[in-house]
Structure 1
């Protein structure tokens, strides 16, 4: 098993955003430059017109091989012959301010019996990822007969362009820390990569007028979530982002570090503050178990707060890496085979088993299961799988069998 891990470096900023020319002046669909009443709108591949009021017709020419086509914001939908996955759609605002949370809604017209692995990423940001199937769809999706109202409640615009208004939806959010166009890739893998569905959503990150300087930070070798570095959890690991540009020599700096899962939704550990842009992680500290889907990893977040007079400026960079988990060794005291009498009661002890991903001096918290098989009597009702300690809340490493009809019993973890 390979664990994908993400190191997140952030420079956090507290500012009051505002601008003389607002996105609403350009239909929330184009970049607005200048100040009222002389705002100028710059269109993109989604909307055109002097106020970005007209949506681009992506069905001309028809890309659906002559079949029905519906224009979407930045794309199209072929509304016939959905043999694998029914209609699906992702919707977000087209523009947003630097560092502010941006909502997105992923919707399916129907949820069928297919298994789906869904990833939402940029070239340096793993926004969301999960595996959905008929047994856990309700964990990730909710149904609504009014998807437009759901999207409007999230503060999204152009909801009248939805291709359908009833269906199943999943909400995600992202914070973008690089000015300019960001390509958000949505990848849906169906039935263990039997089919792929792919779409790129262009999102434009704006720099408010109040922010005069944004630091430039990078991790040279591990910013791509699909090209992580490899680490050994048994050794000290050092994370050191490269700060390319600051906001002046008079700025005051503070640094803090956290660990999250790689989609940055679960806080796992707070490393505390450092006096430098360098984190030295001791052995075994980067192991938190392997109970995550798809990415099965973590993110270490570094916060670099740069303060100048009454303002602070933030920047986030991410470093993705993998660790190989160490093996779990099951050990039975006295050996894995022994002979006992027909009416003899005996005890097997597995307390010396070890998870080598944990430091040698920490408590080994493992769950034990004992299985018994008979070499000479397959119909033996006393020797069966999953026997031993019966209370699942107290999985002790001991096995207390009752009288056996067999001479040889083999128990294993």
Structure 2
């Protein structure tokens, strides 16, 4: 009997957990694999919410975050601690997702031990090493190391080939975030209580069109965040809309938003949402304002136009397909594009009905089959 392939999946943030739990579910139910999980807890509270709803119990929890920790301190700690885990586990494959410090250091630690790396959501590129920062460099490093690059789209796969990554190491699998979204929306349909925490806000804003907002990117700290707050204030002057804003825990976001938006009747600044409630917010919303990467993939799967408050995106497929539009962080541009969608039925319909290019909900199974075939 063939020995099971031992995988060690490493992640630390809520977005990574969302995009990896479908793969962990698949590996855990497949006799070809012995699946082990290590979390860094780069996002402690938000990570734990996803682990709980997805019933993922880590085998290793590094709990590395400390107040005001620099990127160098975080990187050094991760390198040592992840190395210890790999030495203890001796996996056949290390699996990382995306572009966090945890993912980059996980790939580097595996490389130091000559353990092959599978990179989920490989090939995203903005073309600017400072936008998003430091994620663009993180994912380029992983792309150099990975033995198996699971690109979500052909555009991402082409970016890897342009960087001279061996085409035999590059596969288009779709994005596991769509697998996750299908899974959680199905759970909510079967058990609406999972997302009942927004009921009071829904009642408060009954009859208004909802604008969902997320913002947290480091490159937007400072002037960019101030401009985003200004745009939200101006949109809040409309009587026909309400804005629901789960405010990121980072003080660079909270301080600005609390100073600029507190007390506005039709702006609900709320605590970060767990995954079921965030998926429900996407369903409630007429449109989304975000600087997040994952939301650019999730919202179009539910037919929601996305205005991306960044100057570049590593997900150009959404822009090309018409599901997303780059608007930058200038308040005038954000307001103008949001009002165009609110006031122009044709423009809204064109974005809402555009084809989502990011997957069909079967990415996790494709990745598992690739891992089994590559071993």
Give the TM-score band, short-chain normalised.
Answer: under 0.3
TM-score calculated relative to the size of structure 1: 0.24
TM-score calculated relative to the size of structure 2: 0.26
Question: Which has the greater radius of gyration?
Answer: 1
